[in-house]
Amino acid sequence: MIHWNSFSDFLAMGGYGLYVWGSFGVTALIMVIEPIAVARQRKTTIARLKRQLRAESRSTEA
Amino acid sequence: MSNIVFSVIARDLKLAMRRQADIVSALFFFIIVVSLFPLGIGPELDLLRQLAPGVLWVAALLATMLSLPRLFADDHRDGTLEQLALSPHPLGLVVTGKVIAHWLVSGLPLALIAPVLGIQFDLSGEALLVLTGAILLGTPALSGIGAIGAALTLGLRGGGVLLSLLVLPLYIPVLIFGAGAVDATVSGLGGEGHLSLLAAMTIAAIGFAPWASAAALKIALE
Amino acid sequence: MNDRFNLYRFSSPATFYPLAGKMIPWFIAAGTLLGLVGLYIGMLVAPTDFQQGEGYRIIFIHVPTSWMSMFIYLVMAFWAAIGLAFNTRLSGMMAQALAPTGALMAFLSLWTGALWGKPMWGTWWVWDARLTSELILLFLYIGYMALVAAIDDARRADKAGGILLLVGVVNIPIIYFSVKWWNTLHQGSSVNLTKSSMAEIMLWGMLLMALAFWMYSIAVALARVRTIILERECHTDWVRAELTGGKS
In this prediction, residue C51 carries a pLDDT of 76
**Contact of C232 with C13, CB cutoff 8 Å:** yes
Of B148, B156, B219, the CB nearest to C150: B156
In this prediction, residue B173 carries a pLDDT of 94
Residue C167 lies in a domain: yes
Residue C247 lies in a domain: no
In this prediction, residue C248 carries a pLDDT of 47
CB–CB of A39 and C223 under 8 A? yes
In this prediction, residue C189 carries a pLDDT of 41
* Number of structural domains found in chain C: 1
Q: At what angle do helices C129-150 and C89-121 cross, to 10 degrees?
A: 150
**Contact of C102 with C134, CB cutoff 8 Å:** no
In this prediction, residue C227 carries a pLDDT of 96
How does pLDDT run across A1-59, given as a tens digit for each residue? 777 788 888 888 788 888 899 999 999 999 999 999 999 999 999 999 999 888 888 88
Q: Which of B68, B40, B46 has its CA nearest to residue B145?
A: B68
Of C142, C146, C178, the CB nearest to B172: C178
Render chain B in DSSP notation, one character per residue: -HHHHHHHHHHHHHHHHHTHHHHHHHHHHHHHHHHHHHHHH-S-HHHHHHHHHHHHHHHHHHHHHHHSTHHHHHHHHTTHHHHHHHSSS-HHHHHHHHHHHHHHHTHHHHHHHHHHHHHHTT--HHHHHHHHHHHHHHHHHHHHHHHHHHHHTTT-TTHHHHHHHHHHHHHHHHHHHHHHHHHHHHTTS-SHHHHHHHHHHHHHHHHHHHHHHHHHHHHHH-
For the segment B151-171, the average pLDDT, to the nearest whole number, is: 92
Residue C147 lies in a domain: yes
* Average of per-residue pLDDT values in chain B: 93
DSSP C49: B
Residue C49 backbone phi and psi in degrees, to 5: -75, 140
Q: Is C53 in a helix, a strand, or coil?
A: strand
A62 pLDDT band, cuts 50/70/90, is low
For the segment B73-95, the average pLDDT, to the nearest whole number, is: 92
In this prediction, residue C38 carries a pLDDT of 93
CB–CB of A3 and C45 under 8 A? yes
Residue C242 lies in a domain: no
Residue C53 backbone phi and psi in degrees, to 5: 65, -155
Residues 6+ apart with CB under 8 A from C201: C41, C45, C46, C47
**Contact of C117 with C123, CB cutoff 8 Å:** yes
In this prediction, residue B19 carries a pLDDT of 87
- The continuous run of DSSP H or E covering C59 comes out as helix C59-86
Residue C192 lies in a domain: yes
Could you give the CA distance from residue C150 to residue C161 in angstroms, rounded to a whole number? 11
In this prediction, residue B1 carries a pLDDT of 63
In this prediction, residue C180 carries a pLDDT of 85
Number of neighbours of residue A62 by Cβ within 10 angstroms: 5
Per-residue pLDDT of chain C (248 residues; tens, 9 = 90+): 444 556 667 788 999 999 999 999 999 999 999 999 999 998 888 888 777 788 888 999 999 999 999 999 999 999 999 999 999 999 999 999 999 999 999 999 999 999 988 888 888 888 888 889 999 999 999 999 999 999 999 999 999 999 999 999 999 999 888 888 888 765 444 445 555 566 788 889 999 999 999 999 999 999 999 999 999 999 899 998 888 875 54
In this prediction, residue B166 carries a pLDDT of 96
Collect all residues of chain C within an 8 Å Cβ-Cβ radius of residue B216.
160, 163
Q: Among residues 139-178 of chain C, which lie with CB inside 8 Å of chain B?
A: 139-140, 142-143, 146-147, 150-151, 155-156, 159-160, 163-164, 166-168, 171, 174-175, 177-178
Could you give the CA distance from residue A57 to residue C216 in angstroms, rounded to a whole number? 39
Residue C246 lies in a domain: no
For the segment B120-149, the average pLDDT, to the nearest whole number, is: 95
Of A19, A30, A50, the CB nearest to C118: A19
Number of neighbours of residue B203 by Cβ within 10 angstroms: 14
Residue C85 lies in a domain: yes
ipTM: 0.91
